[in-house]
Amino acid sequence: MCCAAWSCTKEKTDYEAAIDIVVPEYDDFNEVVRIRNGGYEVSIEALNGIFYKGYNEIRVKITSGQTQEIPTIQAVTFLPILTEDDGNKTSGPHLHDLVYQTKEQYFSGYAVFPDASHTDRIWELYIRFTIANQTYQAKQTVMVQEQPNKNLNMTSFTGSDNEQYFIALVSPQKPKVGENELIAGIYTFNKPTSPPTTAFPDPSQFSYTAVNDYTLLLDPRMPEPSMGNHSSPNNEDLTQQSDGLYHGVVHYTMTGNWALNFILLDQNGQTIKGTAVPQDFTPGVEGIRSELHLDILF
């Protein structure tokens, strides 16, 4: 059966054109948007200078509008808000209190955008910063694009505990044939326990946290009928590391369409979401995916 799996060719699949597209890999942070408020300029940066649906590492730099010097900043908060055409307002996992990086002199954080921008879905960023005990607030509409790189897919779901979860792939941007470190963020929405206490937007109504000490079981497979649902050796489940993200290993034996089948377990080993997939080799039959999975293509 292994020989049959290895003899599969791209010609037997319907994704040949897709995997022949060069997958870009971005290392440089560029400005997405610049906001001016109170004599200061706030520059928000992301990889490639674009916000994408899914996980985005962000950097915020604040300078004096006149001298371009960096002032002593006491705190910076970051809150993305999505407004739908019916007026409903939601957000996505994000780091509200940004962290100052002393050496590089910027504030760092992340945002997971569950939806791309659309005519009926508008994203706005609310930035608050404090300088010399005076607090400034700025708001800016931004564009969030669909993520063209399926290796950075994300999903959201309601778990068996009735909580809302988000899983967003962080790395690798560009996998290789062989073993790859697989990194993902796993977050949950903190349901508000009381009505808003401040003027909009009250951060307590849009709060998310990274879940701690969960385990994300991994079973990667090639579900295309021509691939027979075969898996690969030397994969490692994802566990949380010191950066708050979940790290594991995925072994891709060839390029093509892969399904990352997951089972999410809480701290007590209870299943939050996901189902085991059959391990049978099934040439000519579409492989069964876990109820919790992400499709990958490289």
Whether the Cβ atoms of residue 112 and residue 166 lie closer than 8 Å to each other: yes
CA atoms within 13 A on the CB side of 207: 11
> Which pLDDT tens digit goes with each residue over 105-132?
999 999 999 999 999 999 999 999 999 9
Grade residue 65 by pLDDT with cuts at 50, 70 and 90. confident
Kindly report the number of other CB atoms within 10 A of residue 193's CB atom. Answer: 6
Q: What is the mean pLDDT of residues 199-214?
A: 96
Least confident of 11-25, 75-89, 95-109: 11-25
Grade residue 25 by pLDDT with cuts at 50, 70 and 90. confident
Grade residue 2 by pLDDT with cuts at 50, 70 and 90. very low
What is the pLDDT at residue 159? 98
Whether the Cβ atoms of residue 143 and residue 288 lie closer than 8 Å to each other: no
Whose tokens are 């109504």? That residue is 205
Whether the Cβ atoms of residue 230 and residue 3 lie closer than 8 Å to each other: no
Alpha carbon distance 117, 51 (integer Å): 10
| Phi, psi angle pair for 180, to nearest 5° | -125, 140
Q: What is the mean pLDDT of residues 30-37?
A: 95
What is the pLDDT at residue 40? 95
| CA-wise closest residue to 12 among 288, 224, 255, 282 | 224
> Which pLDDT tens digit goes with each residue over 217-258?
999 999 999 998 889 999 999 999 999 999 999 999 999 999
Average pLDDT across the chain, whole number: 92
What is the pLDDT at residue 6? 42
Whether the Cβ atoms of residue 55 and residue 154 lie closer than 8 Å to each other: yes
**Domains recognised in the chain with CATH numbers:** 29-145 (2.60.40.1930), 149-297 (2.60.40)
DSSP character at residue 2: H
What is the pLDDT at residue 64? 92
